[in-house]
Structure 1
Amino acid sequence: MNSRGILNVEETIRLFKSYGLKVDENSVNEWVRENNKKISTAYNRQVIEDDLYRYNDWCRVKGTHYEEGIDDKTKIARLLEEVQL
C-alpha cells in the first residue's frame, strides 16, 4: 500500500486473504469494473482501503434480490427462489 492508502487489485486480494476471506482476482476485478462505471471521471479508479468494506457488502448481496441494478422481475424471481429453499 502506498502512502495515499490506494490499493491495487493484487494488494486488495492479499489484504482480504490476510483476514481469512476467500476472494479471487475475477471477483475483485468485476467489483472494480462495476464501481468504475459508477464514477464520472476519465481515469480508472483504484481501490482504496474504505472500499474493502463495500466489496465485502457487494459479495454478500451479489446474486440475491438485494443486488443493485437488477430489474423488478429478477428481484421477484430471486425472492421466490429463496422462499422455496
Structure 2
Amino acid sequence: MEALGQAITSWVLEGHIVEVPGLGNIRAEVRAKAKSDASDVSADDIFRHHLLLTPTKEIKNALNSTPINITCFDKDGNEVNRD
C-alpha cells in the first residue's frame, strides 16, 4: 500500500489523472480567485489544493442504492427523530 501511495503521489504531482481499477480516478485540483483579466492571474490567487476522487460507476450505483438511516438526538441524548 505504501508503494501504491508513493506511485499515485508522484503521478498526481506531475499532473496526471491516476486510474485505480475498481475504485476510480484520482487527480489534483486547485481552486483560485476569479480575475477579469488574464494578465492579473498569479499563483497567489490559488486558495485551495486537494485531491479529487471520481468513483467508478459501480461504486456510485452502490452508494445510491444503499439505504441511509438518520437518527437525531437532543442535547440530553434523547432520540427526537428517526428517518
- With the shorter chain as reference, the TM-score category is under 0.3
- TM-score, scaled relative to structure 2: 0.25
Higher radius of gyration, 1 or 2: 2
TM-score (norm. length: structure 1)? 0.25
> Which structure has the highest helix share of the two?
1
Q: Going by fraction, where is strand more abundant, 1 or 2?
A: 2
